A and B are shown apart, each in its own frame.
Chain A
Amino acid sequence: MEILNWIIENILTQASVIIGLVALLGLALQKKPVNELISGTLKTMLGFLVLSAGSSVMQTSLTYFGDMFNQAFGFTNMSAVVASIEGINGQAMTDLGLGSEIAICLAGIFIVNIILARFSPFKYVFLTGQALLWESTLCIVFAYFCGLSGVPLIIIASIVGGAFATLMPAFAQPVVRKITESDDIALGHFCTFGYMFTALIATGTKKLLGGGKEAKSTEELELPQSLSFMQDSYLAVMVVMIPFYIIIAAFAGPEASAEYAGDVNFIVYAFLQAMQFVVGLYVLLAGVRLLLAELVPAFQGISMKLVPNARPALDCPVLFTYAPNAVIIGFIFTTIGSLIGMVITGFMGTLVIPGVMSNFFAGGTAGIFGNAIDGRRGAIIGGIFHGIFIMILPALLSPMLAQIGFVNMTCTDVDTVVTGFFFMAIKSILGVFGIA
């Protein structure tokens, strides 16, 4: 008994071990040979630890950024947060100590998704691992914030996450069908509310500006070759983050940075810290890649066997080749929209620095959705509104995230934000009846 307790207290509380065990289970279910069981389990654990390392690099950079921001603009009582779902996940898994719960919930979401796909009319199996990891994070964080813990926490979070994983692809499918001109694949990316909002705006522009006639497709445009660098997402993050850091540092002045920068010039230091942010992001995502490398094929193999007629819901870049110009236009105009949104969030009390990763991927996909409904007009106007939308929603959630204990950070992918609101709504409804 004592040995068992020792194991539970010292080993099973380690998130990396739990994640390793989830992977081991997945591999064992596929009847893999022993050498693959061992290597797969170890690589998954390595992935988690790499993710944590990336998260702490990112956080160091963000702490500096938040401090500079406060020294520059703190007198206005405004704080700044950077929108990054990757960072939220990193902090939740390491600093908030919810890593084990998030890992088990990820497996729980798989299971709920398979059950729903098997027995409900929504035949969608969600295969985008990192998106599920973000969703699992938000489900656990908010269910935990609502006062749940232990087994009920994991069960409730898995059910909510699994429901989102099944319903969001179904929600987007009418437009996805139009984009791919087939019904073979679905979109599995938790920015669906943003995409459908873009589609709604594009439907509006088609009616109001086009008199019901669709504008010309973005794909008839010739875009300059030089724009193609924007396909490289890490590069795009750098291009956007560097000016933000430098401007904030310039406003804060050399004295403010002295404590951090030492002998290094304060502007140079800001530049290096902006790069550090990307370093953290890069390392964190490398960790996620390792973490998911064993889990996703296991899930795919199992789910396709249990739900043979399911549509795989895949990551958004799968759609990018259907309208590559719309991707770039969507990215540019979502970024413009997000800058407008940033100003609005400033007036709301918490300035949100746009999440470039999500501007890039969600923005690109929003461009495709806008284009599918109302051509280039839909992609441009829809993109701008999409940019504002994906800033306002996270801004509304950020006070709660700060209360939970996240440092200088908010979510990006809007479906995960909606998940947060969903939990808060349940909490306040239960509160009215005096239950919670």
Chain B
Amino acid sequence: MAKQLRILTVCGNGLGSSFACQMAVEGVLKGLGVDCKLDHDSVSSVASAARNFDMIVAAQNFQTQIEGANTGLPCVFLKRLVDKKEIEEKITPVLQEMGLL
């Protein structure tokens, strides 16, 4: 079995919108046939939480902070957190680069 892709979705306090985003990303990846495990957390915790994940998905407004956390992980920044079309467009090249598609 291929290794599960672990993705962290991030928002301000890691409750509502990152969770909504997580469910949307989950739907997209299921559609693409990628085996994945997701969780969501607050932007304050990104630096410490990142080591348990392979990719970060967040809203565009957190770009500076997440890049500042130097996680070394591929990051996807979204304008519309729950727009499956945008998620698919932005996440596909990253997945291809990781050799998962």
**Given the known A-B contacts A185-B82, A318-B82, are A285 and B43 also in contact in the complex, defined by CB atoms under 8 Å?**
no
Q: Looking at B16, B20, B60, B82, which has the most chain A CB atoms within 10 Å of its CB?
A: B16
Contacting residue for A234 out of B13, B64, B65, B82, CB 8 A: B13
From A123-131, A201-209, A426-434, give the one contacting chain B.
A123-131
From A16-24, A319-327, A384-392, give the one contacting chain B.
A319-327
Asked if A177 is an interface residue, CB under 8 A from chain B, the answer is no
What A residues does B30 contact at CB under 8 A?
Answer: none
- A231 to B20, Cβ gap below 8 A? no
**Bound: A343/B101 CA distance, A:** 59
Asked if A232 is an interface residue, CB under 8 A from chain B, the answer is yes
Asked if A316 is an interface residue, CB under 8 A from chain B, the answer is yes
- A289 to B79, Cβ gap below 8 A? no
- B42 to A314, Cβ gap below 8 A? no
Min CB distance, B21 to chain A, in Å?
8
Asked if A120 is an interface residue, CB under 8 A from chain B, the answer is no
- B64 to A316, Cβ gap below 8 A? no
Which range contains the number of A residues in contact with the other chain? 35 or more
- B23 to A231, Cβ gap below 8 A? no
Closest-by-CB residue of A relative to B20 is A314
**Given the known A-B contacts A234-B44, A318-B81, are A127 and B20 also in contact in the complex, defined by CB atoms under 8 Å?**
yes
- A312 to B20, Cβ gap below 8 A? yes
B residues 1-54 near A (Cβ < 8 Å) are: 11-17, 19-20, 23, 40-44
- A360 to B12, Cβ gap below 8 A? yes
What A residues does B13 contact at CB under 8 A?
Answer: 233-234, 285, 357, 361
A residues 363-401 near B (Cβ < 8 Å) are: none
Q: Fill in one digit per residue for A223-248: 1 if any B CB lies within 8 Å of its CB, else 0.
A: 00100110111110000000000000
Min CB distance, A369 to chain B, in Å?
17
- A285 to B61, Cβ gap below 8 A? no
**Bound: A94/B62 CA distance, A:** 34
What B residues does A289 contact at CB under 8 A?
Answer: 14-15, 40-41
Closest-by-CB residue of B relative to A315 is B16
- A233 to B12, Cβ gap below 8 A? yes
Asked if A252 is an interface residue, CB under 8 A from chain B, the answer is no
**Given the known A-B contacts A231-B43, A231-B61, A297-B23, are A312 and B82 also in contact in the complex, defined by CB atoms under 8 Å?**
yes
Asked if A274 is an interface residue, CB under 8 A from chain B, the answer is no
What A residues does B80 contact at CB under 8 A?
Answer: 318, 321
Min CB distance, A40 to chain B, in Å?
14
- A300 to B23, Cβ gap below 8 A? yes
A residues 268-307 near B (Cβ < 8 Å) are: 282, 285, 288-289, 292-293, 296-297, 300
Q: Measuring CB to CB, which residues of chain B are less than 8 angstroms from any residue of chain A?
A: 11-17, 19-20, 23, 40-44, 59-62, 64-65, 78-82
8 contacts between A and B (CB under 8 A): A128-B16, A225-B64, A231-B61, A282-B44, A292-B19, A314-B20, A315-B20, A321-B81
